[in-house]
């Protein structure tokens, strides 16, 4: 049961949704279509391009929407999200694979810094191929590293300190002080280069290729919000975006920006991609940043996917399309569906509280009632409220 069609390529992955619309729709139809689909018009930021030979898209937008308050100055922040392909074949030595990605991504982070980025978030498991689909333990477990002392954190710490940035770096974590367990962890690095803390993926998929519980379990670090010089941020990793309660808890802890570093493929989820992180932005009056891996990754040993199809060597096409959504539901265009990209959004954090005041979702949320109801639902003798004809 493949959800959205078979794995066949349409040959249109080089075009984003926006390109397909912009190339074909006449004004004023295009404007109306974009309004219905994406909300308020967002201004384009004029950003430096990458140097020649670097095959990475750069897009920037000013999200707008906030009013100027009398008693609070605007809190303008530039948020960057990055999507990347792997660099070397998955058969190359682990160290080489990682170093090649490190080298490429360091360049992207440097460039984002030159664009004025204050906070950067990379994709889920960015310094490695998304090998969990194979269900093989080795060599893939060797990509796991310590969240504080590992080479990836070392690299990103240096960049954070150098550019006075906050960096969210999602890796495969090896927790040496707790039985060498693995975790799907986002490391949050402060402007001084020190690790502020980490978030561990709260909801682990157990479906088809996505048997990630083969490697790690549900996160045990709760729903921390990290209070940085550029706003209160949190991380909802990948599959957690399907869980409204996960999004909600970050809001209840005060998040203003929630990153959703992900790895998801075309036939599995593409039509849901534009919906979930954006709905979370609306429902919780915060900014969300949906970041997807990009490209197709080929593994040496064929594996099956629990869907009746023959064994194959790749997990499907990661469709990129990373985007940022504002608390009022307005969103940016997406990054490429096939190539590396950096997306920068200039946002005013004040919009979060303004939208709470405007729409009143938090005020009208009746949390007491739901706390009481959920407490009953999880009891073994729970009886659903059903009225029969």
Q: Taking a C-beta distance cutoff of 8 angstroms, is the pair 173, 144 a contact?
A: yes
**Closest to its own copies by CB, 128 or 160:** 160
Whether residue 95 is preceded by a cis peptide bond, meaning omega within 30 degrees of 0, is no
Can you tell me which of 32, 92, 96, 110 binds its own copies, judged by CB under 8 A? 32
Active site residue 201: yes
Q: Taking a C-beta distance cutoff of 8 angstroms, is the pair 351, 302 a contact?
A: no
Touching its own copies, residues 64-83 (CB under 8 A):
67
Touching its own copies, residues 340-369 (CB under 8 A):
354, 358-361, 363-368
Touching its own copies, residues 130-169 (CB under 8 A):
166
**Closest to its own copies by CB, 151 or 205:** 205
How many residues line the site for its own copies (CB under 8 A)?
A: 97
In degrees, rounded to 5, the angle at the alpha carbon of residue 305 between the alpha carbons of residues 303 and 306 is 130
> Smallest Cα–Cα separation from 81: which of 316, 284, 323?
323
**Closest to its own copies by CB, 127 or 316:** 316
Can you tell me which of 39, 129, 170, 231 binds its own copies, judged by CB under 8 A? 39
Stretch that binds its own copies, among 32-40, 81-89, 116-124, 131-139 (CB under 8 A): 32-40
Can you tell me which of 6, 8, 10, 46 binds its own copies, judged by CB under 8 A? 10
Write the interaction track for its own copies spanning residues 195-234; mark x where CB under 8 A is met and - where it is not.
-xx----xxxxxx----------x---xxxxxxxx--x--
The values of phi and psi at residue 181, to 5°, are -70, 155
Q: How far is the CB of 342 from its own copies (least distance, A)?
A: 22
Touching its own copies, residues 250-279 (CB under 8 A):
252-254, 270-272, 274-276, 278-279
Instruction: Give 88's contacts (C-beta < 8 A, 6+ positions apart).
Output: 96, 97, 100
Active site residue 13: no
Active site residue 124: yes
Marked catalytic residue, from 56, 121, 133, 238: 238
Task: Retrieve residue 309's tokens.
Answer: 């199809």
> Smallest Cα–Cα separation from 190: which of 171, 169, 207?
169
Q: How far apart are CA 111 and CA 50, in angstroms?
A: 7
Q: How far apart are CA 23 and CA 331, in angstroms?
A: 20
For 15-53, give one letter per residue: b (16+ CB within 10 A) or e.
bbbbeebeeeeeeeeeeeebeeebbeebeebebeebeee
Q: How far is the CB of 370 from its own copies (least distance, A)?
A: 4
**Closest to its own copies by CB, 102 or 317:** 317
Q: How far is the CB of 359 from its own copies (least distance, A)?
A: 6
Marked catalytic residue, from 201, 289, 297, 346: 201
DSSP 8-state secondary structure symbol assigned to residue 285: T
Stretch that binds its own copies, among 90-98, 112-120, 176-184, 244-252 (CB under 8 A): 244-252
Q: How far is the CB of 284 from its own copies (least distance, A)?
A: 9
Can you tell me which of 190, 231, 316, 341 binds its own copies, judged by CB under 8 A? 190
Touching its own copies, residues 325-344 (CB under 8 A):
328-330
Q: How far is the CB of 128 from its own copies (least distance, A)?
A: 23
For 282-294, give one letter per residue: b (16+ CB within 10 A) or e.
bbbbbbbbbbbbb
3-state secondary structure 38-85: HCCCCEECCCCCCCCCCCCEEEEEECCCCCCCCCCCCCEEEEEEEECC
| 283 contributes a contact to its own copies by CB under 8 A | yes
Q: How far is the CB of 129 from its own copies (least distance, A)?
A: 24
In degrees, rounded to 5, the angle at the alpha carbon of residue 138 between the alpha carbons of residues 134 and 140 is 65
* Residues known to be catalytic: 124, 201, 238
């Amino acid at each position: 049961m493949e959800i959205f069609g078979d794995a066949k390529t349409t040959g249109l992955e080089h075009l984003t949704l926006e390109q397909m619309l912009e190339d074909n729709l006449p004004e004023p139809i295009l404007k109306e279509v974009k309004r219905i689909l994406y909300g308020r018009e967002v201004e384009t930021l004029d950003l430096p391009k990458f140097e020649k030979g670097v095959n990475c898209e750069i897009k920037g937008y000013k999200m707008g929407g906030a009013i100027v308050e009398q008693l609070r100055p605007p809190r303008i922040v530039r948020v960057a999200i990055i999507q990347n392909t792997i660099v070397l074949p998955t058969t190359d030595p682990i160290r080489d694979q990682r170093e090649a990605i490190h080298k490429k991504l360091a360049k992207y982070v440097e460039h984002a810094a030159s664009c004025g980025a204050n906070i950067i978030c990379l994709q889920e498991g960015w310094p490695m191929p998304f090998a969990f689909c194979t269900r093989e333990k080795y060599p893939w477990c060797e990509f796991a590293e310590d969240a504080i002392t590992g080479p990836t954190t070392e690299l990103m710490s240096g960049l954070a300190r150098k550019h006075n940035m906050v960096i969210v770096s999602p890796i495969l974590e090896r927790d040496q002080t707790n039985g060498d367990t693995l975790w799907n962890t986002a490391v949050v690095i402060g402007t001084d280069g020190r690790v502020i803390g980490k978030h561990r993926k709260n909801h682990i998929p157990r479906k088809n290729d996505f048997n990630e519980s083969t490697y790690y379990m549900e996160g045990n670090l709760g729903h921390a919000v990290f209070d940085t010089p550029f706003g209160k941020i949190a991380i909802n990793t990948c599959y957690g975006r399907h869980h409204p309660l996960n999004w909600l808890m970050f809001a209840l802890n005060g998040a203003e920006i929630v990153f959703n570093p992900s790895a998801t493929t075309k036939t599995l989820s593409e039509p849901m991609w534009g919906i979930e992180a954006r709905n979370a932005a609306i429902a919780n009056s915060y900014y969300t940043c949906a970041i997807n891996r990009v490209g197709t990754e080929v593994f040496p040993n064929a594996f099956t996917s629990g869907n009746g199809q023959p064994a194959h060597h790749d997990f499907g096409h990661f469709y990129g399309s990373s985007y940022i959504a504002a608390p009022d539901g307005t969103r940016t265009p997406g990054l490429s569906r096939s190539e590396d990209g950096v997306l920068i959004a200039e946002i005013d954090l004040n919009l979060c509280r303004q939208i709470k005041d405007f729409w009143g979702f938090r005020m009208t949320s009746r949390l007491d009632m739901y706390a009481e109801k959920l407490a009953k639902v999880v009891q073994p003798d729970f009886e659903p409220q059903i009225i029969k004809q």
